[in-house]
Amino acid sequence: MVIDLEPARPEDPALSIVGAVQSQKLAVRAITQLQSLPSGDYKLLCDAVVEEVRKLTGYDRVMVYRFHEDEHGEVVAESKRPDLEPYIGLHYPSTDIPQASRFLFRQNRVRMIVDCNAKPVKVIQDEALSQPLCLVGSTLRAPHGCHAQYMANMGSIASLTLAVLVNGNEENAIRGLNSMKLWGLVVGHHTSVKYVPFPLRYACEFVMQAFGLQLNMELQLASQLSEKRVLRTQTLLCDMLLRDSPTGLVTQSPSIMDLVKCDGAALYHQGKFYPLGVTPTETQIHDIIQWLLEFHGDSTGLSMDSLCDAGFPGAENLGDAVCGMAVACFTKRDFLFWFKSHTEKEIKWGGAKHHPRDKDDGSSMHPRVSFEAFL
């Protein structure tokens, strides 16, 4: 057990009984605002929560930072001082927030740094203890030197980080394990030293719990609507196949591109090539088919994040337009293809150039130097 002790500042109204009650009233008001929003767009919810947290805390900038499936992060909502550079829409690699830090946010959902330049205080422990004390459960512990430098590089002195948890792994829930998933973070930054008293931090945590529940409902609704849309589209497309008019899969609406989030799709039927969107050339499609028949001849369908990593010898000739592929074989010589482009061609990265698929090696950390956007 870790107990944080912090100065009780008599001049701070939030520390009085009246102030603590007022903090809870503000939290309830914020939650009511979140719950009053129309459903169907989680970004509306994110836009509202950054405004409410900024009202509660007074930080110069508050952002919602969402983790994507490949673990990189994106700023999806922001409320800030008018003179500050916007970060909304910027993406950052997964290495900016290492896996160890993400694990800790699932255990300790609030983290405050009052002054990243403050000199750390040495921890004095009982000499009888054989191992150093573990302070990961502390909300107020000093930041790692790397993180302090990271904050300084973005012009921030103080911060408040709040974990956003949603329902995650159902298998873990069945086995009695923690099924909550770290969806993202709500992060407040300030350009000068800033202390948020405990009652307000507790109010923010209360808002985060409500935000997580509301967000979870939005994500479930979006998933259900997507499933219904896919099933409806799938029924129409299957009807085209049954009526022996497969070319309608690419020439009519809905098309096979409506089934899968992709940049291009193609039908190869009876020796003819029907492209839609961003696809390889017909010659390259022939090469892909020959490779599939030779190395994946027993499969009726497969997907790959990267044709290069999957071993397709002509992958380098595809350029940046085509990277990932899914394929379904409905006869021995008839194929449906879906293609995705390289991620780095589609999104705006924040800071120094890197490879978006770089993973956290767990051995070292390096602070980001630049937060400027580039494509």
Residue type (1 letter), 96: D
- Domain 224-343 of CATH type 3.30.530.20: no
Instruction: Please report the pLDDT score of residue 98 as a whole number.
Output: 85
Residue 365 pLDDT: 45
Q: From CA 95, how far away is CA 356, in angstroms rounded? A: 9
Separation between Cα atoms, residue 204 and residue 23, nearest integer Å: 9
Q: How far apart are CA 151 and CA 158, in angstroms?
A: 8
Which residue, chain included where needed, has tokens 């044709």?
307
Residue 359 confidence (pLDDT) above 60: no
Please choose, from the candidates 65, 61, 42, 49, the residue with its C-alpha nearest in 3D space to the C-alpha of residue 350.
65
Lowest mean pLDDT among 1-10, 13-22, 116-125, 290-299: 13-22
- Sheet of strand 264-269, all strands in order from the earlier edge strand to the far edge: 272-277, 264-269, 334-340, 324-331, 301-304
Give the integer Cα–Cα distance in Å for 345 and 341: 7
Backbone angles phi, psi at 332, to 5 degrees: -65, -20
pTM over 0.85: no
- Taking only the tens place, the pLDDT of each residue in 316-352 is 888 878 899 999 887 778 899 999 987 655 567 765 5
Q: What type of residue sits at position 121?
A: V
Q: Between β-strands 61-67 and 324-331, what pairing exists: parallel, antiparallel or unpaired?
A: unpaired
**What does each C-alpha distance from 236 to 41, 226, 239, 329 come to in angstroms?**
27, 15, 5, 18
Nearest of 35, 59, 57, 58 to residue 48 by alpha carbon: 35
Cα–Cα dist 158/195, whole Å: 8
Can you tell me the distance from the alpha carbon of 295 to that of 95, in angstroms, rounded to the nearest whole number? 34
| Window from 29-38, 131-140, 164-173, 208-217 with minimum mean pLDDT | 164-173
Pinpoint the alpha helices (H) of the chain: 17-35, 42-57, 99-107, 145-153, 170-174, 198-242, 248-251, 282-295
Kindly tell me if the per-residue pLDDT of 49 is higher than 60: yes
Q: What is the pLDDT of residues 194-241, one digit of tens each?
A: 999 999 999 999 999 999 999 999 999 988 988 888 888 778 777 776
**Architecture per CATH, 13-121+128-222+353-374:** 2-Layer Sandwich (3.30)
* Domains 13-121+128-222+353-374 and 224-343 agree in fold: yes
* Residue 162 to residue 147: CA distance in whole angstroms: 16
Judge contact between 35 and 214, C-beta under 8 A.
yes
Query: Is the CB of residue 30 less than 8 Å from the CB of residue 207?
Result: yes
Q: Where are the domains of the chain?
A: 13-121+128-222+353-374, 224-343
Check residue 362 and give its pLDDT: 47
